[in-house]
Amino acid sequence: MNDPGLEQPIKSSYETAAHTANTKLPNAAKHGDKGILAAFRQELEQDEEEEEVGYFQPKWWWFTSTAFPLVAGTFGPLANVFSICALLRPWRQYTADGSAISDPGWLNAITALSLALSLIANVVLLANFGHVMRYSVAQPLTIGFWYLASILLIVPLGMTKTTLGLPDTPAYEMSQAYYYAIISACIYTILATMLALNAMGAYIFHAYPASFSPLTVPQRTLMLQTIFYVLYLSAGAGVFARIEGWEYLDSIYWADYTLLTIGLGSDFPPKTHAGRALLIPFAVGGITLLGLVIGSIRGLVLERGQVKDVRRTVAKEREKWIARMDEPDAAWRKEEWEAMRRIQRRAETIPKYYALGNSMFAFLLVWFLGALVFFFTEVRRPSPPSDASR
């Protein structure tokens, strides 16, 4: 029974229970050890009642109350960057030389209005996170503005084959800006739907308070780190676009795969002295920010989620075991202790297999879906003839 590492936790638990017995239960001291034991049992029952809500609450409500607002605050600025890319360049270009075809003025106006609404939605959402605006006011505004921004992009996207159509000759194709507009519209719709589900859980189902109070300080830190990374990426892309004379959309692409350590200079190598001098500091700073984000995600989602799963499994297994016990208290106290140790070891093992399976599933899903997307989107162009074949 003398397991190493358990002396201090047992001592701390006893001192806490004794303090509770002396403060909240003054009559317990009059009955000696029996009063202390009764206070200890009452303290354990109170803790179990308080923790039972967290253990057995459906995981769906954790997603709607915590994960959905966190995702919305993280990906909102990224969607704004995509909207800026959709506005900076025309949506169509000639296939032969890649020269741009000017968009009509009404299309640029609609895209700019969509960007303005999405920026307002992000500002209101951040004010909601910081408790500057009330949840009842800020949440409907954020949802409405994001839905409007999405609709303002979806409508012209659906008109590209009709109103924006061109004659068959010369042939034309859709530019990067067109696909950035599609991505922005999808993100706005998804984020607005997530926040709508968050509001439904608070107002209709009353599963949690109507506020962003469930978000902890580490969760808000993760959101701010991701926002700062997106701003760093977009600002760095603008600097290199100005120095190297690139288009901003190409510079965004270059900055993204540079900070993700995919490659350096494979498509757009810096040619100016200023660009080459700024490359290493820019890459080091971006990779550092990316490492902070990844570390926060691991510490917040994986480690804390694993602790919660272990406690949830222990509580469920303990209830199952107690339901099977019919002997009196004196007969099964020792067996209960040993069974709880077995249950704890089992509860610590099961989440490891779940984590391994989820990691493998996520890896294969991203791998195959990514390959499928690039298989259908990338056009196989004929390679230029070599000197020997000429």
Structure confidence by residue, pLDDT tens digits, 220-237: 788 888 889 999 999 999
Reduce the DSSP state of residue 131 to 3 states and report it.
coil
Q: Residue 223 has what pLDDT?
A: 81
Which of residues 298 and 38 earns the better pLDDT score? Answer: 298
Reduce the DSSP state of residue 218 to 3 states and report it.
helix
- Measured CA to CA, the distance from residue 229 to residue 290 in angstroms comes to 7
Q: What is the mean pLDDT of residues 92-107?
A: 86
CB crowding 298-311: b at 16 or more within 10 Å, else e: eebeeeeeeeebbe
Phi, psi of 206 (to 5 degrees): 55, 40
- Measured CA to CA, the distance from residue 21 to residue 29 in angstroms comes to 7
Q: Residue 168 has what pLDDT?
A: 54
Q: What is the mean pLDDT of residues 195-202?
A: 95
Which residues make beta-bridge pairs with 193? none
Confidence band, pLDDT 50/70/90 cuts, at residue 319: low
> Structure pTM?
0.68
Q: Residue 27 has what pLDDT?
A: 46
Q: CB burial class (10 A; 0-12, 13-18, 19+) of residue 33? A: exposed
Cβ–Cβ < 8 Å for 52, 73: no
Is the pLDDT at 282 greater than 90? The verdict is: yes
Is the pLDDT at 122 greater than 70? The verdict is: yes
Q: Is the peptide bond before 90 cis (omega within 30 degrees of 0)?
A: no
Nearest Cα neighbor of 276 from 258, 250, 253, 252 is 258
- Tally of CB atoms within 10 A around 148: 18
Q: Which long-range contacts (CB under 8 A, 24 or more apart) does 304-313 make?
A: 306/351, 306/355, 308/54, 309/350, 309/351, 309/354, 310/344, 310/347, 310/348, 310/351, 311/51, 311/55, 311/347, 312/55, 312/56, 313/346, 313/347, 313/350, 313/351
Between 13-17, 98-102, 270-274, the lowest mean confidence (pLDDT) is in 13-17
Q: Considering the chain, what is the average pLDDT of its residues?
A: 77
Residues 6 or more apart whose Cβ sits within 8 Å of residue 25: 35, 38, 39, 42
What pLDDT digit, counting tens, does each position of 63-80 carry? Answer: 898 889 988 988 999 999
Q: Residue 5 has what pLDDT?
A: 46
Which residues make beta-bridge pairs with 100? 93
Residues 6 or more apart whose Cβ sits within 8 Å of residue 338: none
Q: What is the mean pLDDT of residues 118-139?
A: 92
Which of residues 62 and 83 earns the better pLDDT score? Answer: 83
Which of residues 2 and 85 earns the better pLDDT score? Answer: 85
Q: What is the mean pLDDT of residues 126-131?
A: 86
Which of residues 201 and 366 earns the better pLDDT score? Answer: 201
> Distances in Å between the alpha carbon of 301 and those of 67, 241, 304?
10, 36, 6
Residue type, 142: T
